[in-house]
Chains A and B, each alone.
Chain A
Amino acid sequence: MMRELHYSGSFTVNKPPSEVIDFITDLSKAVVCIPNMINYEVLGKNKARVRFRVDLGNEVPIAELRRVMSDALIELVSASDGEVRYKVDGRAVGSAISISLVIRVEGINNGSRIDWDATANLGRLLQMIGRFVNIDSLVKNISEDTIKGFIGCLSK
C-alpha cells in the first residue's frame, strides 16, 4: 500500500523562461545539480539513472540512517507550453518511492518564476519512518535541498 503525499512550492531565477526550460529538459545538465550525487548515467534523451545520498536529517535516531544512498530512474514525460512533467521511480532504505513532478515556468520582470508540484508515493517500509520522524518536514528538507541545487546550477 502506497501513501500519497503532495508538496508544492515556487522560486525565481534570473534567467529567461526559454533558458530554464532548455536546462530542465536536458537531463544530462539537470541531473548533475542533484545534491550529494554519487554517480549518474544518462540513458537517452529523456531518461537518466541517478544514485545520490539523501539527508534524512538529525531527527533520525540512528546515525547510519541519517544519510542514505538512493537510486532513482528519472524520466521526462512531457514538455510543452512552459510545463514540464517528470516521473521519478526510486528506492531508498530498501523501499520504493515514486514521484510525479510538474514544473511550470513563467516569465517575470528580469527572469522566471518556477512553480512546482509534486505527488510522492512512499512504499510501506518507508512509511514506517513516519513513526519516528516527521515525514512532511523530512520531504520538505529534501525538496528544499534539491531546489537549492537547481537554483545554484541555473544561476551560473
Chain B
Amino acid sequence: MEFDVAVIGGGINGLFTALDLSLRGLKIVLLERGSIGSGTSGRMHGLLHSGARYVVTDPRAAIECAEENRIVARIAPHVVDDVGGYFVAITKDDLDFQEEFISGLRKANIDYRVVDTRDAIREEPNLNPEVKAVVEVPDKVVYARELLMSTAISAYNEGALVIQNAEVIGFDVNGNGIMNARVRDRVTGNIKRVGARVFVNAAGPWAGRIADMAGINVNIMPTMGVMVVYRHRLTRRVMNRMRPPSDGDILLPYGFESIMGTTAVIVEDPDNLTINKDDIDFLTSEGSQMIPALTKEPVIRAYASVRPLISIPGATGREATRDFMVIRHERPSNFISVIGGKFTTGRLVGERIADEVSKVLNVNKPSRTRDYVLFGVDLSSDVKDLDVEIRSITQSFRGSIDEERGLIASLSLILYQISHKSRSLLGW
C-alpha cells in the first residue's frame, strides 16, 4: 500500500500533522515506535501556556502560545481546564522584573490583571504570605494523554492509519528520494516496508536519529526536565514565578494533584534518564517559595522527559532554532523534519508541516484544524467501525459516577481498537 505521507512519531506534532493532512484529503500513515504519547508529549508538565512565560525572552513564541491556547481550548474543551494562572513575585529581583513582564504582556496582547496581593491570598490560601506582587494570566491545564488520544482518533476518523509499536529503523533511498521506511513491527518482531511519497520526521528528541537514517548529519543535545508530583492539589491556579524562564518556576494543579517543574540537565541518551533525589529536593525547595505548604506534601513520584537541542543543516543561526522549525531537506527531497515546539503549539506545528508537505505534493487545500472539534467532546459521536462492546463500555460512563474519569479509559479503549484496525488495513 502506498501512502501520500508517512508521519514518524506519535507525539503532539506528529498527530496534528496526520490530522491536518488527512483533512486535506491525503492518504496518511502514522508510525509510532511505542504507544501514542509515549515520548515527550505524554510526560510534559501539563501547562497550556498563555504565552506569558515567554513574553520577555521569546515574544514570537509568546504570541503563538497565546493564540494556540485559545484554539486548543475551543477544539478540545474536554481536555482543557481553564484554571487561570498567577505570576508571583517573591523576592526583590522578581519584583524588579514586573515592569518588563507587564510591558511584554501588553506587546504580546495577552490578557492580564494585576491582582492585589491580599485578594490573591484570599483566592489562593496556600500562597506565600510574603508575596510582593501578583499578575493573573489565562494559563490553562491540558490533560496530555487525553488530547493526544483524541487527536489520534480524530485523525483515524478522517482516514489516517495510526500504527503503534512500529519503529522506523531505516530508509530505502533511491536517487534523491526516500522510497520506503523500514519498520520493525514490535508486536511480531518482523521488519516491514512502508512506502510513501513524503516522509515527515516528527520524532521529537529522537528526530536526530531519524535524520541520521536518511543520511543527514545532525548534532543533538538532549536536555532532561524533571517534574515532581505531590499528593494534593494545593492551588486552584497555575503558579508561575515572576522572573525570566528558569528551572523550578511552575507549580501546576493537575486533577487532584500538584506538579512542580522543571529542571534542565544535559543527558547523553533520551532513552536513559535518571532522576536524582537532589532534583526532587531542588524542585520542592523552589516551589515552596511560592507555596510554602509544598514542603509538607508527600511526594508521590517524579517523572522526566527530554527537550532536544538539535542543530541540523538547513537551520542556521539563533533565530531559526527559536521555538520550532520545519525543515524541508534538500536531500532526500521528500523528507521533512520538525524540531522543537511546545505541547501548546502542536496544532500550529502540524499546520506548518502540512503546508510544507502540500507544496511538495502540489496540494492546494488550506488547514482546517483550527476549527475542527476533536473526538472525545461527545463520546457518543461515531468512530468508524467501532466494536459494539467497546461502544457500550464507553457509553456506559455517561451519567455514571465516573463520567469524568471514564474519559481516559474510553479513549484508551478506542485507541486500542483503531490501532488494531489500522494494522489490519495495512496488512500487518
Name A residues whose Cβ lies closer than 8 Å to a Cβ of B: 36, 53, 58-69, 93-95, 125-126, 128-129, 131-132
Q: Roughly how many angstroms separate A132 CA and B321 CA in the complex, as a whole number? A: 10
Contacting residues, chain B, for A93 (C-beta < 8 A): 223, 264-266
Given A61-B309, A93-B265, the answer on whether A66 and B225 have CB atoms closer than 8 Å is no
Given A93-B266, A128-B266, the answer on whether A63 and B219 have CB atoms closer than 8 Å is no
Contact of B247 among A58, A60, A64, A125 (CB under 8 A): A64
Contacting residues, chain B, for A53 (C-beta < 8 A): 246
Contacting residues, chain B, for A129 (C-beta < 8 A): 221, 266
| B77 lies within 8 A of chain A by Cβ | no
B246 touches A132 (CB 8 A): no
Q: How far is the CB of A91 from chain B (nearest CB, A)?
A: 9
B262 touches A94 (CB 8 A): no
| B277 lies within 8 A of chain A by Cβ | no
A131 touches B311 (CB 8 A): yes
Given A59-B318, A129-B221, the answer on whether A64 and B266 have CB atoms closer than 8 Å is no
Q: Roughly how many angstroms separate A66 CA and B247 CA in the complex, as a whole number? A: 9
A132 touches B221 (CB 8 A): yes
Provide the B252-296 mask, 1 if CB < 8 A to any CB of A, else 0. 000000000011111110000000000000100000000000000
Q: How far is the CB of A133 from chain B (nearest CB, A)?
A: 9
Q: Roughly how many angstroms separate A102 CA and B180 CA in the complex, as a whole number? A: 60
Q: How far is the CB of B151 from chain A (nearest CB, A)?
A: 24
A94 touches B247 (CB 8 A): no
B58 touches A63 (CB 8 A): yes
Contacting residues, chain B, for A132 (C-beta < 8 A): 219, 221, 309, 311, 321
A126 touches B57 (CB 8 A): no
Q: Roughly how many angstroms separate A46 CA and B350 CA in the complex, as a whole number? A: 56
Given A58-B57, A132-B221, the answer on whether A65 and B311 have CB atoms closer than 8 Å is no
| B170 lies within 8 A of chain A by Cβ | no
Given A94-B224, A132-B309, the answer on whether A65 and B57 have CB atoms closer than 8 Å is no
Contact of B266 among A58, A67, A69, A126 (CB under 8 A): A126
Name B residues whose Cβ lies closer than 8 Å to a Cβ of A: 53-54, 57-58, 61, 93, 219, 221, 223-225, 244-248, 262-268, 282, 307, 309, 311, 318, 321-322, 340
**B interface, by DSSP: helix, strand, loop or mixed?**
mixed
B57 touches A63 (CB 8 A): yes
Q: Roughly how many angstroms separate A67 CA and B248 CA in the complex, as a whole number? A: 11
Contacting residues, chain A, for B248 (C-beta < 8 A): 69
B321 touches A125 (CB 8 A): no
A62 touches B266 (CB 8 A): no
Q: How far is the CB of A97 from chain B (nearest CB, A)?
A: 12
B282 touches A69 (CB 8 A): yes
A64 touches B245 (CB 8 A): yes
Given A61-B309, A128-B221, A132-B309, the answer on whether A94 and B245 have CB atoms closer than 8 Å is no
**A interface, by DSSP: helix, strand, loop or mixed?**
mixed
Instruction: Name B244's closest neighbour in chain A (CB-CB).
Output: A67
Given A69-B248, A131-B221, the answer on whether A61 and B321 have CB atoms closer than 8 Å is yes
Contact of B244 among A59, A66, A69 (CB under 8 A): A66
Contact of A66 among B53, B61, B245 (CB under 8 A): B245
Given A128-B221, A131-B219, the answer on whether A94 and B244 have CB atoms closer than 8 Å is no
User: What are 30 A-B pairs at a CB distance below 8 A?
Assistant: A58-B318, A59-B318, A61-B321, A61-B322, A61-B340, A62-B264, A62-B309, A63-B61, A63-B245, A64-B223, A64-B246, A64-B247, A65-B223, A66-B57, A66-B245, A67-B244, A67-B245, A68-B246, A68-B247, A69-B248, A69-B263, A93-B264, A94-B224, A94-B265, A128-B221, A131-B219, A131-B221, A131-B311, A132-B221, A132-B321
Instruction: Name A59's closest neighbour in chain B (CB-CB).
Output: B318
Contact of B318 among A61, A65, A94, A131 (CB under 8 A): A61
Contacting residues, chain A, for B322 (C-beta < 8 A): 61
Contacting residues, chain A, for B247 (C-beta < 8 A): 64, 67-69
A125 touches B307 (CB 8 A): no
Q: Roughly how many angstroms separate A61 CA and B264 CA in the complex, as a whole number? A: 13
Q: How far is the CB of B72 from chain A (nearest CB, A)?
A: 20
B265 touches A64 (CB 8 A): no
Q: How far is the CB of A60 from chain B (nearest CB, A)?
A: 8
A94 touches B307 (CB 8 A): no
4 closest A-B pairs by beta carbon, nearest first, are A94-B265, A61-B321, A67-B246, A63-B245
Contacting residues, chain A, for B219 (C-beta < 8 A): 131-132
Instruction: Name B342's closest neighbour in chain A (CB-CB).
Output: A63
Given A69-B247, A69-B282, A94-B265, the answer on whether A64 and B307 have CB atoms closer than 8 Å is yes
Q: Roughly how many angstroms separate A53 CA and B243 CA in the complex, as a whole number? A: 12
Q: Roughly how many angstroms separate A144 CA and B4 CA in the complex, as a whole number? A: 54
Q: How far is the CB of B373 from chain A (nearest CB, A)?
A: 31
B246 touches A66 (CB 8 A): yes
B225 touches A64 (CB 8 A): yes
Q: Roughly how many angstroms separate A69 CA and B61 CA in the complex, as a whole number? A: 24
Instruction: Name B339's closest neighbour in chain A (CB-CB).
Output: A61
A125 touches B266 (CB 8 A): yes
Given A61-B340, A69-B247, the answer on whether A94 and B225 have CB atoms closer than 8 Å is no
Q: Roughly how many angstroms separate A129 CA and B289 CA in the complex, as a whole number? A: 30
Contacting residues, chain B, for A67 (C-beta < 8 A): 244-247
A125 touches B268 (CB 8 A): yes
Seed contacts A36-B93, A62-B340; 16 additional CB < 8 Å A-B pairs: A62-B307, A63-B53, A63-B58, A63-B61, A64-B246, A64-B247, A93-B223, A93-B264, A125-B268, A129-B266, A131-B219, A131-B311, A132-B219, A132-B221, A132-B309, A132-B321
